[in-house]
Each structure stands twice: as structure tokens, then as C-alpha cells.
Structure 1
Amino acid sequence: MKRILVTGATGKQGSAAAYELLKNNFEVFALTRNPQSSKAVDLKKAGAILVKGDLEGIEDLSGIFKKVDGLYLVLPPVWVSSRESDEKEAEIGMRTIKLAEEQGVKFVLYSSVLGSDKQNLFRPKFKFTIEKYLLESNLQGAVIRPASFMENLLLPSFGLAEDKFVNPLPEEKAISWVATNDIGTFARIIFQNYKAFNGKTVDFGDKLFTPKQVLNLLEEKLNQPIKFVQVPLAILYQQSETFAKLVEMIDKEGYDPIDYRFISSWMPKLTGFEQWMDEIGIEKIKELRSVDDQS
């Protein structure tokens, strides 16, 4: 298990996995639409082999699939989801897994999302569809379900560049958060121990935080007040019915408990929210503000 194809290699978790694998003597094939992008060039400098293409044209990549031992399958993010985008994602994921099976890939690690099985009730063809397709195939494979990315706080929709914290989630519901670098590290651990993880689904995240706890931590680290903006459910329904139903699901049911004991048996320490803010987050938020001030 030495040659790994990483899809979404210039994205948050794809790049985290690619760099972690490279640091641990894997040969990494990095799939990218644009090999000339700065992120792709950085990966190449780090030792990755760039592969131009995308998953929508997956059949064109059969030659690469023949060369690799493992596949880290990360599908492109969809920020405004719909039934159509869900179905398209499921189709691309299943086609990719089918090609991996046809070309003799030894092991596929699919990155899904926390609570994908519960979302199946209102998203009947989505990430859980891909999970089942992989685990019911003849391939060796595993599924990792990451929690909410800490890095997502840097997206414009959260409003931190304007001294706001725009929150679409239930105000008092605690959810798990995770740093994307930790996802990359755990992906590397899985590839190094792929036989032990074969057939497993791992919910992956760190401690629980309510939106107000995140707000308090941000205010403490930035040493200033931040306006808390709660997005009404009715507005979410106008923007994306599937996302609104996800928020309703979180409010009514929450997520299943994460098995921290299992995670720590393989990876003893995850990056805490406060550590992430100290090392990465606060500096990035300040950069966002400086760009906003100049525009």
C-alpha cells in the first residue's frame, strides 16, 4: 500500500491527506483540474505526481487507477445542495468506486460526512448511498465520516471578516468539530493499517461545542465582541431545503456519539478547537479582515 491516488487533492482535506502521505513515504498521485494552480504546484514541489482531470470524466483516468494501490476518495463540496446535486454526487462516487474495482485498486477510503446515515431519510441518494456501494462491493475499503471542519469558520458565509458570527445551526445544540490536518493524519493511519480498517465506518471528530461556546472562544482569542447572528430556519429553507432539513435533524436528534476511545487507540491526540485557533484560525481570521478592510 504505497501508491495512493488522492482526489480533491488541492482542497482542504485532500491536500492534508496528500502532504501527510508524502511525509510518510507514500507515492501520491494528486488529482487536480488545474495543475498550474498554486496549490497544485506546491504539491508537486512536495513530491506529488499531478494528474490532470476530474471525477466527472472518471473513465479517462483508468490508466492511473491501474497504477495505484489505494484511493482516497474526496468528492467536491457543494455549498448550495439540492436533490439534483445529491444525485449527481452519488452517481460520480459510485462510478469512481466501480472503476477502482475494475482496475484492481486494493483499498478505497471514502470520506463521507458525519450523520450520513441519518441524512438518508431525507437525502435518499447521497453520501450514504456511496458508503453502501463501497462496503457492498468486492473491494477492500473503509469510510471516514468527518465532523464539521474548523476551517469552515473562515468561509465568507460565517461573517467573521465583518465581526459577525453567522450561525445556521441550532443555537444550543453541541456538535463535534475537527481540524482538516487531523483528517489527513487519520487517513494516512488507515492506509498504513488498511487490513485492520477494512469494512469499518469511523465517525471522526473532537469535542462538542455549541455555537455560543464557539462564539465565546472567538471573542476570547480575538479579544473583542462579535455579533452573533442566528439564521432563522425559514431563511435556510429559502436557500437550500436539504440543508434546512439537516439543521432540523441536528436539532431534533443530534449526531450519534463518536467513539473517542477507538480513535485514540490509533491517534492519541486530536487538535483541540483552542489549539487550532491559536496555531491557525485567529491569524487566518485577521487576514480575512485585512482583505475586507482594503476592499
Structure 2
Amino acid sequence: MSSQHDPILVTGGTGKQGGVTARRLRADGIPVRVLVRDPDAPAARALAAAGAELAIGDFDAPDTLLAAATGARGVFAVPPATYRVAGWDGDLEARRGIALIEAARTAGVDHVVFTGVGSLGDDIAWGAHGKQRIEEALVASGLRYTVLRPVRFMENYLLQGSPVDGIAHGVHRHLFPADRPLQMIAVDDIAVFAALAFADPDRFHGQILELAGDAVTPVAAAAAIARATGHPVRYEEVSEAEAEAIGPEIVNVWRVTRETGGWHADLPALRELHPGLWTLDTWLASGGADRIGALLDAQKASAAR
């Protein structure tokens, strides 16, 4: 029988979602154990300094997953995905996620919170089939579970070197229609929903939550970023031909978005659960604008050399 003194195992702790979730749980006074491959990595050392226990392990070594899960009362599951231009390796992602679920079941974990991806309709067409298989295995495991399906991260405006997303020299290029509201979420809010689920597993057992915090057209979002940073920013919609040239998974996202109307998280219902849910303006005012501005300043300086 687990107790509130037992830790929650957080996977992906050195990444975006796992890192903010581990820090959120620690801020709430909850014991946290973080699965890491390299305990000397800067992100791992920062989590240890914040009071997290480090468990050395690897998703491709199932015995280490069982060792990490043993004694934990909950697991925050973010199995690593493998993406290349040719597409997602959904089979590998599914094997890793299912191995973690099996380790949690064997270890007697009380509650698993799995974070996947917001649904767009024909999920198989755009690379979510690995996450679907993990969800199916979790439902069939007999464990208490909650599934989080976040949409596009607001932090993606900070991406650099990607063929789509991020902002390069004042231009935000992406796949989405310029004039349709695009749902997005701050990564910090994913951590809030995970913490809510772990705090009340009976209430959240079996729930599948599509997560978003705002819905803003890409053109309006670019204008908001421009106002907040003081830099000119405009949106450029990638054509179908350009998306197809990048790769088959990318053009599938382009098509599915237009066929389905995009993500469909229920913002009012989510705000009832979490009244402090961030909008894009909130995220920008809470440090996002400063981070984007610093990147744009660096790009401008580099171009002037």
C-alpha cells in the first residue's frame, strides 16, 4: 500500500514536460524521483538540487524501469519519441511506453499520468499512433490512470533551426491556417494538471483531458508577440507543396488540420479545473516575451556581422 510519503516517479525529467512537472511537485512538497540516463547532466543536477531523487535508467532497459518504479506511488509518463524527417518511429515509442506501464504494474504503482498529444481526428495519419498504443495499454493495465493530451506548446515559439515553428528574423512559419484560431498551451500548465491528477487520483482516474490554454489565430499571435517584444513579427503560412517537401508526416499535419478544424480542447471546462490557466498574453508577460526577444536580438546581431 503506497502512502503520501512515497515519491512520484517522473520520466522525461530533463525535458520540457517532465522537468516542469518535477519542479511543480517539489514546490508542492511532494517527494519526486526522476528517471535520468546521466545523473551528471546539468538538468539532472538542477533537479537533484531542487530535492528530487535521481534514478538512473533507460527506456530501452526495462529492468531499470522496474527498479525506478519500485516504491513509487505514482508515475508521470513521458516516453521519449523518435522523430526524423521521414516520420515518427511510433513502434519504438510504443514499446518504450508499454515497458514503463508494465514496470509500474509490476511495482504496484497506484496511479499513472501519461502525457501524449492533442487529438486532431485521424491521429494515425500524423504520427500519434505510438501514443495511441500506449494509451490502450494503460487502459488495459488495471492501473489507475489519467491521460493528458496537450496541444502545441507556447514554448515552441522558441524553437530554432526547425523547418516549421519558431521565429527566424521576424517570421513565424508554420503549417496552420493563418486565419483560424490555433489552440496552444504553456508547458507549466501541463504540470498543473498532472499535479491535480496526482492530488486526487480517484477524481481523475479514467479521465482523458485534451489540454489547451488559449486559441489565437497565428496572425493575431504574431501581432501579440510583436507588441510584447518590441520586434516586428509576422506569420507565414506554409503551402501544401512546401509541407510535402519537408516530409510525409509534416504534410499530413497540414492536411489533417484543415480537414478536422484543428485541436478541440474545451477551454472553459479546463479553466474550471485550473482557473489560472495561462493565455498567450499571460505566457508572454511571464517571461516568454523576454526569451523570444533575446533570441530575436541575437539573430539581428548575427545578421549584422
- Same fold by TM-score, threshold 0.5 exceeded? yes
1:194 maps to 2:198: no
User: Would you say 1:258 and 2:265 are equivalent positions?
Assistant: yes
CA gap of 1:291–1:76, structure 2 versus 1, over 3 A, is farther
> Aligned to 2:184, what secondary structure does the other structure show?
strand
Q: CA deviation at 1:55?
A: 1.3
List alignment gaps of at least 5 residues for structure 2: none
Q: What is residue 57 of structure 1 aligned with on the other side? A: 61
Quick one: which of 258, 276, 292 aligns to 2:283?
276
CA distance in 1, matches of 2:109, 2:194: 17
1:237 positional shift:
2.2
Q: Please, what is the CA RMSD of the aligned residues?
A: 2.1
Q: CA deviation at 1:271?
A: 1.1
Q: 1:110-189 maps to which residues of 2 (within 5 A)?
A: 110-115=114-119, 118-120=122-124, 123=127, 125-156=129-160, 157=162, 158-189=165-196
Q: How many residues of Structure 1 are paired with residues of Structure 2 in the alignment?
A: 295
Measured at CA, do residues 275 and 79 of structure 1 come closer, stay the same or move farther in structure 2, by a change above 3 Å? Answer: farther
TM-aligned CA deviation for residue 121 of structure 1: 5.2
Distance 1:256 1:285 in 2: 25
CA contact (8 A) 1:178 1:206 kept: yes
Q: Deviations over 1:81-135 (max 9, x none)?
A: 6566122111211121112112211111100110066303565832112111111
Distance change in 2, residues 1:287/1:84 (3 Å): closer
State the identity as a percent. Answer: 26
Moved more, 146-155 or 53-62: 53-62
3-state SS of 2:61 partner: helix
Report if aligned partners of 1:142, 1:200 keep a CA contact under 8 Å in 2.
Answer: yes
Q: Tell me the distance in 2 between the aligned counterparts of 1:261 and 1:228.
A: 27
Q: CA deviation at 1:255?
A: 3.7
Match of 2:22 in 1: 18
Return 1-10 or 161-170, whichever deviates more.
161-170
Q: Distance in 2 between matches of 1:273 and 1:245?
A: 26
Structure 1 unaligned segments of length 5 or more: list them: none
After superposition, the C-alpha distances for 1:128-170 in whole angstroms (9 at most, x for unaligned) are 1211111122111110001110001100133525222122222
Secondary structure of 2:122's counterpart equals helix
| Matching residue within 61, 80, 84 for 1:80 | 84
Query: For 1:241 and 1:51, how far apart are their aligned partners in 2?
Result: 37
**Preserved CA contact (<8 Å) 1:17 1:185:** yes
Residue 16 of structure 1 contacts residue 185 of structure 1 at CA under 8 Å; is this kept in 2?
Answer: no
How many Å separate the matches in 2 of 1:243 and 1:35? 34
In 1: Cα distance, 2:222 partner to 2:124 partner? 30
Matching of residue 231 in structure 1 with residue 235 in structure 2: no
Q: Aligned letter for 2:246? A: Q
Question: Among 264, 274, 296, which residue is 1:289 paired with?
Answer: 296
TM-score by length of 2: 0.89
Q: Structure 1 stretch 33-42 or stretch 43-52: which is displaced more?
A: 33-42
Letter aligned with residue 223 of structure 2? N
CA distance 1:161–1:122, shift in 2 (3 Å): closer
Is the Cα contact below 8 Å between 2:151 and 2:263 reproduced in 1?
no
Counterpart of 2:78, as a letter, is: V
Q: Which moved more, 1:168-177 or 1:100-109?
A: 168-177
Partner in structure 1 of residue 109 of structure 2: 105
Shift of 1:210: 1.4
Separation of aligned partners in 1, 2:66 and 2:257: 39
Give, in angstroms, the shift of residue 207 of structure 1.
Answer: 2.1
